[in-house]
Structure 1
Amino acid sequence: MTKPSDWITVGALADGFAPEAFILPNLADLNGKTFTLNFANGWQIEHRFDTETVSWTAADGHSNGTAAYRATSVRPGLYLVDFIKREGAQAWSVSLVLDTASAAFTAVIGRMPSQEQTREGLYSRALAGKNLTSVEVDFLHGSLDRPWQEGQCPHAPTSELTGLRNMYRYSPSEVYEHIYLNDQFYSWQCLKGVEQGLCDTDRCHYYKIADQLYLFVWREKIIPTLGVVLIDMQQHRSDGKIFGYAGSSFDELSNFPVASYCQVLNQTEYPDA
């Protein structure tokens, strides 16, 4: 149990979540499959999967590589694929929501701040009109195995979670509460586990993927952290990952799976909203 001031690294958080974690199995469904991702911005990138790695090649030849991946599925025909893309000293978190039923996808591309960026105080960032978090993220949409046309990706920003208070049990020892405040921020607290007693309000993003299925992404400002999860309100399950620096030396990344059984505690409705 922590004291209120005991913030821990993402690596230490991974160690706390690991014992008896309720993570979903890494699927073999994608082995031997190839998807061509046609982005709305004009990119065209082929992704080829085997049992352990994904390889990608851009149509313009400017981007190619191979990485180990994790793939899970909370609904039939829908995959969450996660891997780290590295180019030299640079590394990006890549999470793909592959929606084969709609022949569409959403890509979440995240990057950790440099050591220099983390030294910039919250007050300075606020006065400069910047996000308080220095974790960067981009959301890109497109179509699977067909040319992109406007409107082909049904994944869209949503306010359907606003006002929801949800509890997430990631393992027998790790339990958190989320309160979805508005379309830009949520509050969290650790009810039980290695961060017990800690809480904060952080920048977040919501996308509706299907009926009662949401992509939720958050960016923490105290310890640089990117979280990417799918929340299935029908099955009361969530699955995704947490990404950040493993320790305080900025020379190693931690990218670990998280999945939970979730429970609605209450729903707040604002009469004047």
Structure 2
Amino acid sequence: MSHANTATVGLLHPGRMGGGFGGALADAGHRVLWCPAGRSAATARRAAEFGLEAVDDLAQLAAHSDVIVSICPPHKAPQVAAAVAETGFRGLFLDANGTTRTVLLDLAGKLSAADIRVVDGSVIGPCPQDAPGVRLHLAGDKDEVARITALFEGTGIRVRDTGGPLGAASALKTAYATYQKVAYVVAGIAYAYADAHGVVEPLIGEASLITRSPLTEVLEDEMLPSVASRAWRWGPELTQCAAALREEGLPGDTADAAVRVLERWFPARDAFDGDTRRALDLLGGRL
């Protein structure tokens, strides 16, 4: 599907996620540029597969792009933004990396000082080429967010406006990643311990009975105050779990860390008052 108003987009860089985004934009009728300098042969093959156009260097990419989309490892995001600022680019810059709000605001401040307009973005979901459903959350100036939204019209990428200022999309990604990525790490440890004792099947059976995400349950069912009120009992239990994990040669650090979090809720002992705000304030050290 082609746009009535197409744009030239500079993509930094066509990794697995970035390549999928570039391919989606190219399929929608946009001209998508990328810079092969310093990139791998696998990246070059991916770029060719997605119909991206190679340019000689970053300066040429910036000179010909209306919008630059940065999708790279989070720790590389400031370096990428600084390199773009040095090119004299004066278009719209979408930072769609998994940076924190603090990193994004610092990055945006430096780009703004170079007269580059910035939209804060965060990507949640699978690579577009792997499965449908990837979401691109945006934050920042209303008109600039609308321009990025229009850019992805007709693609399979679901664009969602957080309605917040710069930093809101990055804050969302931090919150989501904290839950989702740590949950997978903990699941791996739990599976390994169950495997060591031959109880994988019943563990999976119990897990299959969980039909909702704890992330939604803690708020929708006022579960968070309940968890806070039981922290004084859960803490010692997890301390024992940490010791049991170490007996099997597994890391007990995640259980130890959970105990340190639970300690903040010890003042809520047996207080099933349904006060989610109090539970959050205790966790945040505001009480």
Q: TM-score, normalised by structure 1?
A: 0.26
Larger strand fraction of residues: 1
Relative to the length of structure 2, the TM-score reads: 0.25
Higher RCO by CA contacts (8 Å cutoff, separation 6 or greater): 1
Bigger proportion of residues as helix: 2
Between structure 1 and structure 2, the one with the greater Rg is 2
